[in-house]
Amino acid sequence: MGDPGSGGVLRHSLHAGRAAGIAASRAILFGSWARGEGNPEIDVDVLSSVPEFAEPAGPARAERLWALRAATDSRIEPFAVGERPWREEDSSTLIEMARREGLEISV
């Protein structure tokens, strides 16, 4: 496993997501890895803005997202939101944290 802070692991995960039909328009690394405090033993928090997630997610879509961990890096904790919540949501602590401390990974 590579260093998620370098972005390579995350880009690989995003490409796998695209192949599985989950095309993120942006991905934000946040949490300990974004703060430079990551180590190989802790999870990697990633928030992806996915246009198709504008509608409420069903269990199958969430399962696809989590299944990608097995194909890429099991440390990745995927969180996905639609475009509008990413731009406008002001009641989600998770989105606020990603906005405040996050590092955008090119997709």
Q: What is the pTM of this model?
A: 0.83
Q: pLDDT confidence of 6, banded at 50, 70, 90?
A: low
Distance CA 76, CA 43 (A): 6
Number of structural domains found in the chain: 1
Residue 15 sits in which domain range? Answer: 4-105
CATH number of residue 12's parent domain: 3.30.460.10
Of the chain, the percentage scoring pLDDT greater than 70 comes to: 89
Note whether 3 and 98 are within 8 A (CB). Answer: no
Distance CA 66, CA 54 (A): 18
Strand spans (E) along 1-107: 26-30, 44-49, 76-81, 103-105
100: left (phi over 0), alpha (psi -120 to 50) or beta: alpha
What is the arithmetic mean of pLDDT over 53-66?
Answer: 73
